[in-house]
Structure 1
Amino acid sequence: MSRRAGYRAGVPADATPPPVREIETLEEFDRVALSGSFAGYRLQAVDLTDRTFALLVADTTQAVFLGCPMEPQALAHVRAGGALVFPPVPHLPFDPYRATLYSPSELYADLAGGYEHTPDARAYAWFRSTAASGDVLASMLRSIHDDAVTDALDEHLAGARVVGVMGGHAMKRGTDAYAGAARLGRTLARDGLTVATGGGPGAMEAANFGAYAAPHEDVMLGKALSVLGGAPSFRPSVSEWALTAFEVRERWPEGGTSLGVPTWFYGHEPPNAFASHVAKFFANSVREDTLLARCNAGVVFLPGAAGTVQEIFEAATPNYYSSRGEPSPMVLVDRAHWTEQLPAWPLLSALARDHPMAWRIALVESVTEVPDALARLADR
C-alpha cells in the first residue's frame, strides 16, 4: 500500500514520514518474522491463522493489520502491542482489503454453474442491494476496496508505458470493427505498450483480446476471432459469451498481458476475459479518472456513445490545463463518427486551439493509422 502515509501515533503532522514497509504475502511475512519485529509494517489481506506463534513473540508497535485473519490470542497480543487492526468483514462476496488486482479466472470462478454464481455477479448483486440503502458501513467498504485496488494498480503499472483504448460496449464479435480493434490491440502490445481498456465487452474486449494474441503467430488471430464470433454479444447470455472467451484462452494459452478497468456501477456490462489484470471498481468516477490518468503513452478513442464521449473530455481536461505535466496524445478514430454522428472532434479541436494540447490530438480514419499517429504526437 505504497501511497498511504499510514498510522503514526504521536508523530507531528509536518514530519517527514518514514518509508512504508508492506507485507502482502505469507512468504513476505515469514521473511520479516525472522527479525522478530513487525513494528511499523502494514500487513494487507494475509491469512495469519497459522502464524500465531510468530505473532505472539513479535514486536507489533505501530503495525497495521488490514483484513488479516488471525487467532483470538494473536489478535489480543498484537493489539496490546500497539498495532492497529482492521478486521476481516464476514459474508462479503469480495475482499475490501485485497492487495492485488483481479484475474478473469477469479472473477469468473464457478462460471460453469451460470454467471449469476460467479464472484463478479455476486459482488454486483451486493452493490445493487446496498447502494441505495444509505448504510455507512457499505459505503465505507466500497471506498476501502476501491482504494486498495488503486494501490494495487499503481504497483502493477510501475514503470509501464500505458496506452488506453476506449470504445463502445455495443461492438459485436464477428464484425470488421471488432477485428480491427483486435489488430490494433495486438500491434500496440507488440510495440511494447501496456494496453489498458475499460475492461468490458465490445471495443474494450477486442483491444484486450488483441493484446492477448500478441505473442502468438498471426494466423491465431483469425482463427480465434472465428471462435468468438459464435457468441457475438453478452446479450442475452453472459455465460455463453464468457465461456466462449475462456474456450479461446484454453485453445491458445499463454497469451499476452493487458489491463482492464471495469466497474460494478455498470454491472450489466460484464468484464471481458482477455485482460490479464483487472482493476474493478465500485465507483465509476474513480474508475474513469484512475484509468485515464495512467495512460501515459496516450489514449485511443474508437467509435462509441455517451461513455466514450465522456472519456474524451475527461482526458481533455487535464490536457487543457496541463495538470499532469505534458499533454498526453489523444487519437480519435473514424472521421464520420466523431465529426457527424457525435461531433466531439470539432469541440475538442476548438478547445485545443492556441493551447499546448493542440499538438497532441489527432483524428484518423482507420485503426491502421493509430500507431503512427501516436508516435507522431508523442514526438511533438
Structure 2
Amino acid sequence: MHPTTPAQPFDGSHDREIESLAEFDEVVAAHGTLSHFRVQSVDLTDRTDALLSLDTSGAVFLGCPMDPAAAARTRACGALVLPPVPGLAFDPYRGCVYSPDELFASLDEGYEATPDARTYAWFQRTKADGDIFGSMLRSIHDEAVSDALDELLVGARVVGVMGGHAMARGTEEYAGAARLGRELARAGLTVATGGGPGAMEAANLGAYAAPFGAGMLPEALRILAKAPAFTPSVTDWARAAFEVRAKWPGGGPSVAVPTWFYGHEPPNPFAAHIAKYFSNAVREDGLLARCNAGVVFLPGAAGTVQEIFDDATPNYYESRGEPTPMVLVDRAHWTERLPAWPLLRSLARERSMESRIALVDRIEEAPEALKRLGG
C-alpha cells in the first residue's frame, strides 16, 4: 500500500482501503493516522489504544468489531462507523472474494448447514418483502465483492468459459471442458466461469489440475463421476469435489462468479476465488466485462444464450474498447438446436467484431481459435 498524504480528501483509491489487521498495523506505523481511510471487516477489538489516540476524521469503518469506547471516539472525531450486522450468514462489508472452504464450511453436517445454503435461505426470505434494509445489505455486499474482484484481477489476462449446468460429471463432454480449462490455464490465462456445476465446474476443475501431471485429471474425473450431478444431493456432489481437493491439494487458481439468484445451483469448489453475488444482472455483466482475453461458449441453454448476447452487445458497440474474442463450440448446437450463431454472425457483419468471432465443431479446437482471434 502507498497511501497519499493523509491530509488530502479521500479520492476513491484502493491505496486507502484497509482489509486486514496487518494492513491496519502497517498504516498506523507508517503514517500515524487513519484519516480518510476505509477499513473493511477488520476485527479491531485488540486495537482500542490506536483508535483512542489516532486521527480518524473522514474515515469509514465498515463492519469492524471494536470496543464501544473506541467506536464512540472514532465517531466523535468525524468517522462513519457502520457496525457488523448480527444474525447474517454473510458479511456485507467483506474485503475479499470467497473461498470454497468458506462457502462450504460445515459441509460435514450437510449442505443445508453451510454459509452458502444459509445465505440463500436468507435471500429467499428477504428478496420480495420490500424491506429497504435487506435490499441495502445485498447492494453493499455486491459492491464489496466487485471491488474485491477488481483488486484480485489487476494485470490478469482473463478468459471466460461459459456453458450450462446440465453437463454431467462422468461424460466425455465434461472431460473435454476440463481439458479445455487445463490448457487455457497452462497457457498463462486466468480461467473465469459462472461458478456453477456442469461445464462451469469442469473448466474450473481443469484450471485446478493445471499444475499436476497427466494422471491427475483422469483420476479426478473418476472420483467425481460417483456423484454425477448436484441433484438429488448437493452434499454428495460437493463432498466428491472436496475429496479430489484433499487428494491433490494446492491446485491451480481460477475464478468463479456465481449467484444466489439461482440458489438451487450451488457454486463449484474448484475455483480458488469465488465472487458470489445476490444480483444476477450485476454478476453477468461483471463476469463478461472482466474477460479481457475473450470467452469460450460451450453448449448450454437459456443462460448461455443470454451470455452470448450480453457479450456481443458491448463488442458490437465497442463500449469496452476493442472487441474481445468470442468462440462458440459445437456447430450443431449453435446452428440447429439453439441457432445463436447465425444471429451473432449477422450482427457482426461489417463491424470490427466480425474478425473476433468463431464457431468450432470440437472443444479441442477452442484454444487455437481463441489464439487466432487475438485472445
Residues 126-166 of structure 1 show CA distances to partners (whole Å, capped at 9, x for unaligned) of 00000010000000000000000000000000000000000
How far has the Cα of 1:85 moved from its partner?
Answer: 1.3
| 2:134 counterpart residue number | 138
Report the Cα distance in structure 1 between the residues aligned to 2:162 and 2:334, rounded to whole angstroms.
13
1:33 aligns with 2:56: no
Displacement of 1:17 in angstroms is: 3.5
Match of 2:114 among 111, 118, 125: 118
- 1:314 aligned partner, one-letter code: D
Q: Which residue of 2 aligns with 1:367?
A: 363
| Contact in 2 for aligned 1:231/1:241 (Cα 8 Å) | yes
Match of 1:293 among 289, 297, 300: 289
Alignment-mate amino acid for residue 238 of structure 1:
V
2:16 maps to which residue? 21
Q: What is the Cα deviation at residue 36 of structure 1?
A: 2.6
After TM superposition, the structure 1 = structure 2 runs for residues 99-114 of structure 1, keeping only pairs within 5 Å, are 99-114=95-110
Q: Unpaired segments of 5 or more residues in structure 1? A: 3-7
Structure 1 counterpart of 2:213: 217
Aligned residue type for 2:11 = P
Question: TM-score if structure 2 supplies the norm length?
Answer: 0.96
Within 2, Cα distance between the matches of 1:166 and 1:288? 11
Could you give the per-residue CA deviations for residues 9-68 of structure 1, whole angstroms, max 9, x where no partner exists?
9x7xxxx93745111111111122234310111111101111111100101111111111
Partner of 1:5: none
Partners of 2:12 and 2:359 in 1: CA distance = 47
Q: Which amino acid aligns with 2:309?
A: F
CA distance in 1, matches of 2:353, 2:83: 47
Q: Is 1:128 matched up with 2:124? A: yes
Are residues 1:248 and 2:244 paired?
yes
State whether structure 2 residue 173 is matched by structure 1 residue 195: no
Residue 357 of structure 1 pairs with residue 358 of structure 2: no
For residues 215 and 18 of structure 1, the distance between their equivalents in structure 2, rounded to whole angstroms, comes to 37
In structure 2, the partner of 1:186 is 182
Aligned AA (1:333)? V
Percent of counterpart pairs with the same letter?
69
Q: Provide the aligned length of Structure 1 versus Structure 2.
A: 369
Residue among 151, 154, 165 paired with 1:155:
151
Post-superposition CA distance 1:74-126 (Å, at most 9, x none): 00100011111122111111000000010000000000000000000000000
C-alpha distance in 2 between matches for 1:29 and 1:183: 42
1:232 to 204, 223, 228: 228
- Give the match's secondary structure for 1:227: helix
Deviation of 1:367 after TM superposition, in Å, equals 1.0
- Residue 283 of structure 1 corresponds to 279
Aligned counterparts, 1:168-179, within 5 A = 168-179=164-175
Which sections of structure 2, spanning at least 5 residues, go unmatched? none
Which sits farther off after the overlay, 297-306 or 370-379?
370-379
In structure 2, C-alpha distance between the alignment counterparts of 1:18 and 1:122, rounded to whole Å: 33
C-alpha distance in 2 between matches for 1:33 and 1:54: 8
Partner AA of 1:75 in structure 2: A
Q: 3-state SS of the aligned residue for 1:218?
A: coil
Distance 1:298 1:208 in 2: 16
CA distance in 2, matches of 1:26, 1:334: 49
Secondary structure, aligned partner of 1:85: strand
